[in-house]
Amino acid sequence: MGQVFLFAVLLFTLFVALLPPPILCLPPFSALKSGGGKKNLSNAPPLEDTSKKPILLSEIKLKNRFENDIKGFIRNVRSFHDIIEHKTPNSLLYVQEDLLNFHNSQFIGDIEVGTPPQSFKVVFDTGSSNFALPSTKCIKGGCAPHKKFNPDQSRTYTQQLKGNKESIYTYIQYGTGKSILEHGYDDVNLKGLRIKHQSIGLAIEESLHPFSDLPFDGIVGLGFSDPDFSFKKGYGMSLIETIKKQNLLKRNIFSFYVPKKLQEPGSITFGRANSKYALEGRQIEWFPVISIYFWEINLIDVQLSDHNLNICENKKCRAAIDTGSSLLTGPSSLMQPLIEKLYLEKDCSNKSSLPNISFILKNVEGKEVKFDFTPDDYILEEIDEEDNSVQCVIGIMSLDVPAPRGPIFVFGNVFIRKYYSIFDNDHKLVGLIEARHDWQRRRFSTLAALKKKWQDLSSYITKDSDMAHWRELNAKLFEAEVLVQKQEREEFRRVDWSAWAEKISNKEALMCMKNFYDHQMNALDELDQSESKEVKDKKKSKEDELFEEALKNCKEAEKASAKLLVDGAKTLWINFHNPPVSNLDNNEWIDSDLYWQAFVEKHATYNLNSKSLTPEDEENKNMEKSEWMKKTTKFNERSDTPILYDYMINLPSWEHYDINRRIFLENMIYFLLRTGLSYKFFPELFSWKWKTHIEDLRFQYLEVAQRRRKNYQLVTAKREVPLELQPSDYEHKGEEYHLKLLQHFRDYQNLVLSRLMGNYIFLCDPFIPVQTEEMLQHVLNTYEGEGTLFKLCNDQVNCLFYLPPPCDENITSVQYKPLDALGNFYLYLKGKNVKINDSYFSFLKIISQVLQERGEYWLHLPNENVADSFLRRYNKDDAMYPVFVDYVAQLRENFENKVEVSPDMYHEEVSRIEEKYLEECSFFENFLRAFLTEDIALSHEQGAVPDLVKLDTNQIKKLLNEGKLKVVHPETQEEVRDPELVAELARQREAERQEIHEFVKSLSV
């Protein structure tokens, strides 16, 4: 459950990122996430130790960055004379807050709102500009488990009103969740920094998911305000803009630190950057902000092991530094090829073999700066709560953000953990410097100050000698705390004599030691109990006992009184809001309505005119229970009218697919073909574009299949005929038919693959297999005889291999297209006068179209071998994966020992191969008939072939007379009309099938 809950939090952070400014009737907003980069600087002096000279950003005389052009902006930046100011800060120049570390995904701080102050747990998010808190008006849904702001108890709260004195509301869509905010103003206290008249949004309604699962109450957006609204009347002004407008800080900057360890807190500092979080010897690199909404900077390219991926070539890539996001994300079209190259085992076994990732950004001087990430930086480790095993996940994922916010990369906590981030609101700059995570070794954790206030005295230490003694004191204190915690967690364990009994052969000596040990331990236990009892009796007098009993009774009475008060309030509220009985719906009960729910369930359908039984009679209860069981059974049989649900849209996606299994199978097959991903990544919300594409493809199939069904019905005068490759009854036999059809295609595929693998034809690209004289002439004419023909040093391989020029045998340079391959296959069959079912060909064409939707690299990446692509894309959990790995190894071993065939030996070698090939074709045809069932019809003309061995001559004669059976003699190729001869041929075929089965069973595996 811990992992599921953590995943829900990670998912919410993807939805919250880059939240737009609050506007009335705001459309659904988009989400972001992300991570990474690094580079040593040369244009700014290094950060210095705060124990010597604490740092502050100095004034930078820049013109408005939206005036003039970028060249003028760069010239102004070059005039920086001193980025870091060596002045001793005082308590009025900056504030710093330690942030609670929640699973290394969210960092939660404390704020106070209103007068008198009301405290809340919040997330500071640079990916949005909203200041959102739950309101006391929100009494159910996602607000229930969180603390709520009461505007009536704040003397400084005022509402934001329109010109007609109406309240201003904002509707926000959070993925599958929603929230409605009522806007107002109030004072905010942030660790001593008091911001007056700050615009806040109070949630008056929140959906249950995901808000109820979040460990914090609200969000404090640190993005830029919308310039069309914020600077006119203060409407929707973000926190950082309010601080700047009121001149509360000397430097309008803030910095964000993300730790590596789960036990360490994060930190946010307003007014300065803290040098203790920066790695010594590094310098800040500054980047211009290119957005008027969020902290976005220019992304030039991404490197994998120092090789450019050119994913931003001819594109203007943007990256948002987002403290509210957990991961590092980017558009799927750009990130998916990168993610596919980062295959990570769950147990972290191949972590060290993964490549480094680098992000190249453009700084204020227009220079490209490289930020490196090792596997330790972009891989997250999670501990399984059940078996305490360590599991690894990649902190990078694909996320498509629609326009106008996207497409965009989001550098979240994965990035900020590696690079300490500084946000300059005066000059719209972002500063990045490699973070330091061992700063606690120099000074005791600031989180400990919450428990031991005296430890803050270290700020007043000036001498190095005193600092050394202070460190020694903290080290000893830390050791003592660790020892105490360890002893508290451990239980006293007695000697396990059963284990020693196996090791000591002298049982008499063993029994003596055991008896002595038990006697001593019992004596010590009795002594300890008696001493504890004496101390307890001495401490407690009659007055103390009387006081404790009275105190206990008072606490119980207080709990009972509070419960009575709450229940009374619920009863009054229910009585006031009770709807008419006709509007009651037992799907919408709240937790406090359990009594009334039971009342309505028993009495709502009761009528004195129609029933003689009272609702409380046992007979009536049994009758209602029986009726309920009937309805439940009907629901479980996937009825067209689901019980307890009025609209299908109200169902969760998994239950919708559970009821509509045909739609699930259809959507799953489309998803697997379209993306090439595992079924584990099947989306909860299916793309509407994909749904419309499915309907378009369905029409293409029906256009062909319906025409063929109509013609067949007109010829045979049949009233009811199913579509080809489709069942006659979807509701009752649909699952059985599709399962049988998929099983048939899978068996056929495995048989064909085994034949191809036996001759090393499967995955032999760029080699062209040659088994006939016709194929040899075709490749020689196509490539004008400039290629090379090879044979393998294996007598069991009935195939030659032609390497066309100028192909590299280790690389597949040709980018095949599925539709072109299907077209070539169809032309080949047409040239051989082989007829193919139009419905089946339409089905193959649809699959090829979906595959081609993947893009140019649907099969393999540039300069990648097809065999490597196949193994990379194949499901590693499948039972056949080791078989294919072994096959590829044998394939490469055989091709390493290949022998070139001289041109004068071409025809001799091919004639020898072709003779074996024809024998193989004859055997394979019998092999297919032996292992593939014929009880499934792939066309109207074919029909399902009955088992003739089980029929007598009269039944066979009837089938022949009705035209339902047509038998051709295998030797004369003439139609057989004699039922006895047909029965004899069927028995011979069955005997041959059994012989092939026995032959296969006798083979050693």
Segment 829-864, tens digit of pLDDT: 888 888 888 888 898 999 999 988 888 777 777 778
The arithmetic mean of pLDDT across residues 778-799, rounded, is: 86
Q: In 3-state terms, what secondary structure has residue 83?
A: coil
Q: Are residue 218 and residue 297 in the same domain, yes or no?
A: yes
Residue with tokens 């600087």: 41
In tens, the pLDDT along 566-592 reads 888 888 888 777 766 566 565 555 555
Decide which of 892, 924, 956 is a domain's last residue. Answer: 924
78, pLDDT greater than 80: no
Please give the helix or strand (H or E) that residue 954 lies within, else none. Answer: helix 953-961
Is 525 within a domain? no
159, 167 in Cβ contact below 8 A? yes
Q: In 3-state terms, what secondary structure has residue 654?
A: helix
In tens, the pLDDT along 736-756 reads 888 888 888 888 888 888 889
Residues near 372 by beta carbon (within 8 Å), at least 6 away in sequence:
37, 38, 356, 357, 358
17, 238 in Cβ contact below 8 A? no
- Choose the catalytic residue: 98, 125, 217, 377: 125
81, pLDDT greater than 80: no
pLDDT score recorded for residue 35: 35
pLDDT score recorded for residue 609: 56
φ and ψ of 866, to 5 deg = -60, -40
512, pLDDT greater than 80: yes
**Catalytic status, residue 322:** yes
Q: Are residue 432 and residue 461 in the same domain, yes or no?
A: no
Q: Which domain holds residue 595?
A: 583-636
Is 835 within a domain? no
Decide which of 891, 924, 957 is a domain's last residue. Answer: 924
In tens, the pLDDT along 34-61 reads 333 333 333 333 343 444 333 333 333 3
Rank 459-468, 718-727, 964-973 by mean pLDDT and report only the highest: 718-727
Q: Are residue 899 and residue 997 in the same domain, yes or no?
A: no
φ and ψ of 639, to 5 deg = -70, 165
Is 678 within a domain? no
pLDDT score recorded for residue 623: 81
Q: Are residue 359 and residue 478 in the same domain, yes or no?
A: no
Does this model's pTM top 0.85? My answer is no
Q: Are strands 158-159 and 177-190 parallel, antiparallel or unpaired?
A: antiparallel
Tokens standing for residue 272? 């300065």
- Choose the catalytic residue: 322, 377, 424, 765: 322
What CA–CA distance (Å, rounded) separates 282 from 329?
26
Q: Are residue 917 and residue 793 in the same domain, yes or no?
A: yes
Q: Are residue 322 and residue 467 in the same domain, yes or no?
A: no
Q: Who wins on pLDDT, 781 or 977?
A: 781
Positive or negative CA dihedral for 744, 747, 751, 756? positive
Residues near 274 by beta carbon (within 8 Å), at least 6 away in sequence:
50, 55, 96, 255, 257, 267
What CA–CA distance (Å, rounded) separates 663 from 734?
12
Residues near 185 by beta carbon (within 8 Å), at least 6 away in sequence:
157, 158, 159, 160, 197, 198, 199, 200, 234
Q: Are residue 260 and residue 406 in the same domain, yes or no?
A: yes
What are the start-end ranges of the H helices in 834-905? 838-852, 866-873, 881-896
Domain count, the chain: 5
Residue 645 banded pLDDT, cuts 50, 70, 90: very low
Lowest mean pLDDT, pick from 29-38, 909-918, 981-990? 29-38
What CA–CA distance (Å, rounded) separates 114 from 129?
20
9, pLDDT greater than 50: no
Specify which residues 206 forms β-bridges with: 179
Q: Are residue 209 and residue 259 in the same domain, yes or no?
A: yes
DSSP-assigned states of every residue in 334-401: HHHHHHHT----TT-TTGGGSPPEEEEEE-TTS-EEEEEE-HHHHEEEEE-TTT--EEEEESEEE---
Positive or negative CA dihedral for 659, 665, 671, 672? positive
The rounded Cα 27 to chain-centroid distance in angstroms is 25
What are the start-end ranges of the H helices in 438-506? 464-489, 497-503
- Structural Rg of the chain based on CA atoms: 38
What CA–CA distance (Å, rounded) separates 809 from 788?
11
Residue type, 399: L
Residues near 243 by beta carbon (within 8 Å), at least 6 away in sequence:
193, 195, 249, 252, 270
In tens, the pLDDT along 912-971 reads 888 888 888 888 887 777 777 665 666 666 555 667 777 777 887 888 777 777 777 777
Q: Are residue 437 and residue 462 in the same domain, yes or no?
A: no
Residue 618 banded pLDDT, cuts 50, 70, 90: confident
429, 288 in Cβ contact below 8 A? yes
What CA–CA distance (Å, rounded) separates 691 from 697?
10
Is 114 within a domain? yes
Lowest mean pLDDT, pick from 188-197, 202-211, 937-946? 937-946
What CA–CA distance (Å, rounded) separates 23 from 160?
12
Is 98 within a domain? yes
pLDDT score recorded for residue 445: 43
670, pLDDT greater than 80: yes
Specify which residues 186 forms β-bridges with: 198
**Catalytic status, residue 187:** no
Is 18 within a domain? yes
Query: What percentage of the chain's residues is helix, strand, coil (to nearest 5)?
Result: 45, 20, 40
Query: Which of 455, 416, 383 has the alpha carbon at shortest distance from 17?
Result: 416
27, pLDDT greater than 80: no
189, 111 in Cβ contact below 8 A? yes
Decide which of 573, 606, 636 is a domain's last residue. Answer: 636
Tokens standing for residue 36? 């990474």
Q: Are residue 910 and residue 971 in the same domain, yes or no?
A: no
Is 731 within a domain? no
Q: Who wins on pLDDT, 615 or 713?
A: 713
Query: Which of 221, 224, 234, 248 has the alpha carbon at shortest distance from 66?
Result: 224
pLDDT score recorded for residue 304: 86
Is 407 within a domain? yes
Q: Are residue 188 and residue 62 in the same domain, yes or no?
A: yes
234, pLDDT greater than 60: no
Specify which residues 790 forms β-bridges with: 801, 900
**DSSP conformational letter for 738:** H
In tens, the pLDDT along 353-386 reads 888 899 999 888 888 899 999 888 888 877 766 6
CA distance to 143, 221, 255, 373, per residue, from 359 (Å): 39, 26, 21, 8
Phi/psi region, residue 247 (left: phi>0; alpha: psi -120 to 50; beta: rest), is: left
Q: In 3-state terms, what secondary structure has residue 232?
A: helix
What CA–CA distance (Å, rounded) separates 170 from 999?
74
What CA–CA distance (Å, rounded) separates 284 from 190?
27
Q: Are residue 631 and residue 747 in the same domain, yes or no?
A: no
The rounded Cα 363 to chain-centroid distance in angstroms is 32
400, 272 in Cβ contact below 8 A? no
Lowest mean pLDDT, pick from 183-197, 338-352, 472-486? 472-486
Look up the CATH number of the domain holding residue 147.
2.40.70.10
